Structure 1
Amino acid sequence: MDVVRRHARELINSRLAPARPAKDGWQTCLQINHGITKGHKLSERERRYVVDITCRWIENEARAGRGPRRDPPLALS
């Protein structure tokens, strides 16, 4: 989980933490679901929180057996 946490931190720092990211859908989601107001640079505390909830979600999905979606192989005719 250390590698996942590191990648989550890198992703959040580069794409979500800036005050005005190119695509702010994630900031909107954070505002609606977690009360983190969009339009400001995320604090270190907010960044840690987002990494924690992201990793918790991944762990819960893995425990429930819901890994990455895999389409069935195509049948060859």
Structure 2
Amino acid sequence: MSTLNPLFTRLARSTFRSRFRLGPKERQYCWDKGADTIDQHAADFVAKRLAPAYPANDGKQTPMRGHPVFIAQHATATCCRGCLEKWHHIPQGVVLDAQQQQYIVGVIHHWLVLQMNPQN
């Protein structure tokens, strides 16, 4: 049993969070780039857009589309510092440490794996 199961159970109960899905274009992008590259993109986005104590445009810094990681961030409530605090209990106003950033990338990765391998 994954330690993320309780989180994903809660996310599934959210009408907003549960509506996000990868489209054919995003799925193909994931297949073309591979998990390691997508994880690196996620790590870069987290480091630049979420890790600062007070990110620029917080609450609006993650687009709703354009990259599989962006969609995953909205689906997993890792899109802004407010969502990180509400859903993941990571406080606002402090720089994210390496462990927190790795956790966020892990959450994003887990959601992407679920999307790429649907359990029909």
Instruction: Name the TM-score, length of structure 1 as normaliser.
Output: 0.78
1:33 matched residue in structure 2: 87
Moved over 3 A (4+): none
How do residues 54-65 of structure 1 correspond to structure 2 at under 5 angstroms? 54-64=108-118
Report the structure number with the largest CA radius of gyration. Answer: 1
Aligned residues: 65
Corresponding residue number in structure 2 for 1:14: 48
| Unmatched tracts of structure 2, length 5 or more | 1-34, 60-79
**In the alignment, structure 1 residue 24 sits paired with structure 2 residue 78:** no
The reply on whether 1:2 has 2:36 as its aligned counterpart is: yes
**TM-score of the pair, normalised by structure 2:** 0.51
RMSD, matched Cα:
1.3
Q: Percentage identity across aligned positions?
A: 32
Give the whole-Å Cα distance in 2 for the aligned partners of 1:15 and 1:51: 13
* One-letter identity of the residue aligned with 2:117: R
